[in-house]
Amino acid sequence: MRIPIRYQFMLPLLAVAVASLLAVAVIHSRLATRQTRARIEGQLQGVITVLQQSNYPLTDAVLRQMGGLAGAQFVLTAPDGHTLASGRSVAAEGLAADAFTADAFTADSVDQVALGPPVTLAGRPYLHSSLWIRPRPNVAQPSVLHILFAQDEFDAAWRAAFLPPLWVGAASIIAVAVVIHLVAGRVSRTLARLGRDVERLADGDFSPVGIPRWNDETRDLAAAVNQTAARLATYETQLRHTERLRTVSMLGAGLAHEMRNAATGCRLAVDLHAEGCHGGQADDSLDVARRQLLLMENRLQQLLQLGRQSPEPDERPVDLGRLVSEVVALVRPAAQHAGIRLIWDAPADEVTVRADMELLEQAIMSVLLNALDAAAKHQAAAGCDGLVDVAIHRRDDLSELVVADSGAGPDADFADRVFEPFVTGKAEGVGLGLAVARRVVESCGGRIAWDRAAGFTRFKIELPLAPLEISHA
């Protein structure tokens, strides 16, 4: 059975409050009855003391006046029950000779006067007590003074002392119930809204939920839901990237196989043509084409290895200047075709790093091609000459390869994410070149970064230098 949370808060508290109120009511009613009885008895004893100590005759008028002071009815009878004098109201009703029981206790002193068992006179109940009165001028023998206090007046007196606190307690319980209902209702509504927000998260909507104004546990819960939503959004993005990589791997495997076969056939055809033709500059062009085709075969072979158990990187000492020279030679025809001025001055001294040469060549190639493309686009848009400057610097135990281009630089929308997979500003781009370059550089213990300076976009690859004993091996 579903019990709303507001009732889970309200019912136990109200049950405790009502039980406490009932217990207090029972105890207070008994105390109020006792206090009322003691007050009335004290009041009666004071008036009766005056009557007993006086010497004037106890007539109907005297008993009526004294009864008015005491708030009771006085009746004076003989020991046999015969009425000698009476207050006006009781006398008007008429009293039978046996109106008071013969065995009723009659007090000898004022201190013994107490409201005793009730008697009924003319259909109205009275609390009765009696006291022996010494002889008076109008009564030669001892007589009995009967004190009658109306039961309904006694009940009204103790209720007047008992009911106000009871009503205050009941009103307090109602106020507490209203407050609990409002507070629990707020918590219940907040939890219901968070429940709907969690269902929305389960449906794939990871937008943040509203934070409650009250700084309490519901606010902490809403903040936790927002943290969960942010993490789920991150996980979804990572999952999409992973799925895209898997898709590229699956689709590219078949395409790579066909392209590798075509590249191999093309390279063989170039080799055959080179054997039959000798023409100076043509030989250089054929050599570049042959190396490009060989590089294409290697890249396609690496693509075919995706998803298989890859061997450990073949790290060995690599002359960074020589490797960059080879890469520049490969991309120079593309630069000449695009009208881009490619500047490269090999360092005079050998700069040796420890890396997998093929992977590092791939990373440098990606950065260079990216620079050529950026310079060509800016040249076409601005009408100015495009320039790519490649240089190697040596600082302490680090080597720094700087590729600067005259392009406009990455778009501001993804400038801080250029090294993430599938982030690209090219309509025909995939967004994997710089991501792969960063992975390769970091696997070699280096880092790659970019900045803008003097109108140029500079990509910097820092690699630790190989130890001297390895460099000279």
CATH of the domain at 459: 3.30.565.10
Same domain, 13 and 149: yes
The DSSP bridge partners found for residue 421 are none
Same domain, 261 and 409: no
pLDDT higher than 70, residue 423:
yes
Same domain, 73 and 89: yes
Q: Closest Cα partner for 342 from 434, 404, 408, 426?
A: 404
The fraction of the chain above a pLDDT of 90, given in percent, is 8
Report how far residue 314's alpha carbon sits from residue 443's, in angstroms, rounded to the nearest whole number. 12
Q: Which domain holds residue 264?
A: 214-310
Same domain, 64 and 90: yes
Q: What is the mean pLDDT of residues 351-375?
A: 88
Domain boundary among 273, 294, 310: 310
Q: pLDDT-derived band of residue 254, with 50, 70 and 90 as boundaries?
A: low
Cβ of 222: how many Cβ atoms within 10 Å? Answer: 19
Report how far residue 89's alpha carbon sits from residue 86's, in angstroms, rounded to the nearest whole number. 8
Q: Cβ(170)–Cβ(17) under 8 Å?
A: no
Residues in contact with 37: Cβ distance below 8 Å, sequence separation at least 6, in sequence order: 115, 154, 158
Quick check: is 389 in a domain?
A: yes
Same domain, 305 and 362: no
Most confident among 188-192, 299-303, 406-410 (mean pLDDT): 406-410
Q: What is the pLDDT of residues 290-300, one digit of tens each?
A: 677 766 766 66
Quick check: is 73 in a domain?
A: yes
Number of domains in the chain: 3
Structure-model confidence comparison of residues 95 and 162, the more confident one: 162
Q: What is the pLDDT of residues 261-308, one digit of tens each?
A: 666 667 666 666 666 666 555 566 667 676 777 667 666 666 555 455
Same domain, 250 and 333: no
Quick check: is 305 in a domain?
A: yes
pLDDT at 471 (0 to 100): 46
Quick check: is 198 in a domain?
A: no
* Residue-by-residue DSSP string for 272-306: HHHHH---THHHHHHHHHHHHHHHHHHHHHHHHTT
Quick check: is 203 in a domain?
A: no
Domain boundary among 310, 343, 358: 310
pLDDT at 331 (0 to 100): 84
Q: What is the pLDDT of residues 103-115, one digit of tens each?
A: 567 888 888 888 8
Structure tokens at 42: 């004290």
Same domain, 263 and 221: yes
pLDDT at 299 (0 to 100): 63
Same domain, 226 and 319: no
Q: What is the mean pLDDT of residues 137-158?
A: 79
Q: What is the mean pLDDT of residues 67-85?
A: 81
| Torsion angle, alpha carbons of 223, 225, 226, 227, to 10 | 90
Same domain, 323 and 277: no
pLDDT at 313 (0 to 100): 64
Same domain, 271 and 321: no
